[in-house]
Chains A and B, each alone.
Chain A
Amino acid sequence: MMWGLIERLALIAAAAPAALFLALGVCALARYALSEKTVGLMTRGTFFVTFLCNLTVAVLMAAQDRNLVVISLGDWFHLPGYRFTVELLLDRLSVPFVLFSQALIGVVGAFANRYVHREQGFNRFFTLLALFATGMNLIILAGGIEIAFAGWELVGLSSALLIAFFHDRRLAVENGFRALVVYRVCDAGFLVAAVLIRHWAGSGDFIHLFGDVAWPGGASPLAGGRATLIMVLLVVAVMGKCAQVPFSGWLPRAMEGPTPSSAIFYGALSVHAGVYLLLRFAPLLSETHVAAALLAAVALVTAIVATTVGRVQTDIKSSLAFASLTQVSIILIEVAAGFYWLAIAHTLGHMCVRSLQFLRAPSLLHDVHNVENAIGGHFAATGEHYRRMLAKPVQRGLYRFALERAHLDTALDTFVVGPFVRLFGTFDRIEQRIASRLDGTPRESSPRDRSAGSGR
């Protein structure tokens, strides 16, 4: 197989973060402790090379007026009637996204080199960052839905583990698990959609699905109810990753992680991964009005909720998280309305601005105090005109609503988690009773019961 310069550079850029993850992972497994300086150099070097390669690819594709480059890496495996090919897709959608995403990860990596300096999990942070970069590469460059799903899962896992980065804090761990629950539940939609696409269309490759034409052109062989079902399932997956209502509660909780990871996950990339997925499926989305309407409705509600809740947050990272959520929701509305190019521009701009805001957040308060000391007073309050527009009772109601974060977590706990735990708790008691009957022994107590019983 003969590859040109574009293909070779794109492959280097795609493989570099995976190689970094592998190198850091193997060193960790082999108990070889790398110094902070070495890890920092490896990370910066990797993302610098990635950025240069991606930039060159973008320039070359623009100069040669090539809108679509498919890099086929052959079959991963195959069996009769089932062929799993590995392809990377470079087009007008993936190239800008991969260029910006890897550049931002590099910037955040450089920032984090100092931020997590002398933290116990220094190497763990960069290993997970490399895993995340690999996952993002897979989502963006995937030539088929299964590879995109693999990347989607890697992003979800790295996200949850980084939220729980400070693993000795109970709250961080609980919040990491909560984020993972939302991811996994919504990812089921993605998995089912991927399998259905392969089942109905015969292949999960985007070229097969949408034709050998430049994005966002192309027509899908799927139509009618099948197309709608697939897009609805993908919208469910996107709702989890983009923290749309009713799954928004995990996003502010995710701020428990280190600030650099908050910047890259919830300011920049992870929270926009859903936007990218829907843009990739634009040819199908444009034909399924039900899914587009559902997406627009959910995103509109989320935007209103997020902007309302964001106004009463008392810490800067939560405030930024809700601001980010508001913008992501607006971008999703743009996607649902078919303004794809606008959505791309909005996404790339928002990724950069929000990352900067997150990275600036730890030192901002210090700077604000300095400025206020210099000017001899507080900054003027903003948003007073909203307050004047609303009656006092409405203000109070909205304040309570916002303070409780729209009761979203409470609703999920009450109507989904609670019944699930109660149902399976009942099953568990029945199971233990049956097992005790079989053995003719008293029901087994939990370890804590016993230790409490023994007076310890």
Chain B
Amino acid sequence: MTFFAPWIVILVIASLVGAVVAHLRRSRSRFVVMVVNSVALAVSTLAAVDLWQRSAHHDPFESIRIFVVDDMNAPLLVFAALVSFFVALVAPVRKWKPGSATRMLVAEAILFAGFAVSNEVAFVALWIASYLPFDRELGQSDCRSGCRRGFRIGAIASSGLLVVGLLANRWMPSADSVLPGSIAILLAAMIRQGVVPFQSWLPHLFARAPLPSVLMLCVPQWGTWAALRLFVPDAPPILLSILGAFASFTAVYGAGLALVQKDARRAFGWLFVSETAIVFASLSGTSETGLAGGLLLWLSSGLSLAGLGMALCALEARRGRLSLEGFSGGLESTPRLAGSFLLLGLCSVGFPGTLGFIGTELLIDGSLGTHPQLAIAMVIATVLNGLAVVNMYFRLFCGRRTIANPAIGLRPREYAGFVALVVILSILGLWPRGIVATRVRAAKTAQAIPPVVTAVEPREPTS
């Protein structure tokens, strides 16, 4: 079910107006961002509720629709708004550069539009545009941002491949064009998601770039969204199997690397690569149950990884760069930050009682019949990721006697953000029926999307 509603237009316009205001009133940039994010959160929630309450197809603006809200993207819009709200709430404002707030709001507008736009050309344009605020942010960051070249290579390669894929699908009216077009789109998505063999740039970005900006760029998972919208409906089974194989390997590879890192940011980067690869792998032609599990993990691991990343950011703001080589101690000084870190980490790896547990269970069960290797990889990755999270917790907060310094504890604003995320993930984990139902509907919608090439008449063989 899809419908046009003013919700998305409101979301995009609000973000853009907020960006202009933030640009004009730099002194109160966080206030402006928080106001816009509150509006975005409320509007996206209304859009999702509105969709949920409609029992029948109703689209009075069929002919003019640019944006659509459907079962697949409605919860994703709320998710994107929530992530943006949380990141803006917790990010240490003294590290914001001139124009950071403006760029953050522009990035949000692009994200909302990207999740809701129905036109493929517009989607590709938004995909390319989504890189620009981040690239500008990197340009203003300190010396640690020696990752701009790698980022640009990844951005240009993925954007170029996406354009090639779209052109191949559109202007080569042949059934044969499915393969090159799909391959190009798959490669673009793999690069953006950091799937092996294109993984190296992403953890490097996490290690060196400003963490709030990286989270805003990566947590929504543009690559997975592009694959779901543009690749999965057309993809031949062989390509879906390739996607599954590479993503499964990435999940295990990333988890193993997260466990042996000596730098907290890199460990988090690899954890992110592994977790998002699990979601990406769920697109590989698993059953409806498996896909629903993957879509559920998209939300749960995204939210919890955003929280975990910001907890790392908050700790870094207090201690400087974080090493995992020894034990840092300091639990006495930051008990609530330590608790938030552990709880969000456990949420991200699907600990029982959290939303991720249900997603993992559904994904493994749903892929067992069709892709047993995927199920095995999921189990191994889940085990290793759990160990990586607890290892980080122990090394960052325990193992050493330190003098308690309450002055570096969490501020109420930060603490409220962490607690809210933990409560949301726990409540959704304990009462998951509603969110599971939306993901099942999304999985059904995703599997029912007509392939782009079905509209193209196969070319007559020439004699």
Contacts of B323 in A (CB 8 A): 446-448
- A415 located at the interface, meaning its Cβ lies under 8 Å from any Cβ of chain B in the complex: no
Of the stretches A62-70, A208-216, A430-438, the one at the interface is: A430-438
Contacts of A420 in B (CB 8 A): 256
Contacts of A28 in B (CB 8 A): 339
- A446–B261 Cα gap in the complex (Å)? 9
Q: Per-residue CB proximity of B382-413 to A under 8 Å, as 1/0? A: 11001100110010011111100000000000
- A1–B339 Cα gap in the complex (Å)? 39
Q: Per-residue CB proximity of B313-341 to A under 8 Å, as 1/0? A: 00000000111011101011000100100
- A153–B361 Cα gap in the complex (Å)? 14
| Residues of chain A in range 149-198 having any CB-CB distance to chain B below 8 Å | 149-151, 153-154, 157, 160, 164, 167-170, 173-174, 176-177, 180-181, 184-185, 187-188, 191-192, 195-196, 198
Interface contact A195-B257, CB-CB below 8 Å: no
CB within 8 Å for A448 and B325 given contacts A77-B358, A146-B361, A181-B387: yes
Of the stretches A79-87, A268-276, A333-341, the one at the interface is: A79-87
Contacts of B327 in A (CB 8 A): 170, 173
- A384 located at the interface, meaning its Cβ lies under 8 Å from any Cβ of chain B in the complex: no
Q: Per-residue CB proximity of A416-456 to B under 8 Å, as 1/0? A: 00001101110110011011001111001011100000000
Contacts of B436 in A (CB 8 A): 77-79
- B153 located at the interface, meaning its Cβ lies under 8 Å from any Cβ of chain A in the complex: yes
| Size band of the interface chain B makes with A | 35 or more
Interface contact B399-A199, CB-CB below 8 Å: no
B196: min CB distance to chain A, Å: 10
Interface contact A191-B394, CB-CB below 8 Å: no
B157: min CB distance to chain A, Å: 11
- B260 located at the interface, meaning its Cβ lies under 8 Å from any Cβ of chain A in the complex: yes
- A120–B333 Cα gap in the complex (Å)? 12
Contacts of B437 in A (CB 8 A): 79
A257: min CB distance to chain B, Å: 13
| Residues of chain B in range 350-393 having any CB-CB distance to chain A below 8 Å | 351-353, 357-358, 361-362, 364-365, 368-369, 375-376, 379-380, 382-383, 386-387, 390-391
Interface contact A168-B369, CB-CB below 8 Å: no
CB within 8 Å for A192 and B379 given contacts A428-B261, A431-B203: yes
Contacts of A170 in B (CB 8 A): 327, 399-400
- B259 located at the interface, meaning its Cβ lies under 8 Å from any Cβ of chain A in the complex: yes
| Residues of chain A in range 187-235 having any CB-CB distance to chain B below 8 Å | 187-188, 191-192, 195-196, 198-199
Contacts of B352 in A (CB 8 A): 149-151, 153-154
Interface contact B391-A177, CB-CB below 8 Å: yes
Interface positions of B (Cβ within 8 A of A)? 146-150, 153, 199-201, 203-204, 207-208, 253, 256-257, 259-263, 288-289, 292, 321-323, 325-327, 329, 331-332, 336, 339, 346, 351-353, 357-358, 361-362, 364-365, 368-369, 375-376, 379-380, 382-383, 386-387, 390-391, 394, 397-402, 419, 422, 432-433, 436-437, 440
Can you list the 10 inter-chain pairs with the closest CB atoms, starting with the nearest?
Answer: A438-B150, A150-B352, A435-B204, A447-B323, A167-B398, A168-B401, A434-B200, A173-B399, A441-B146, A424-B260
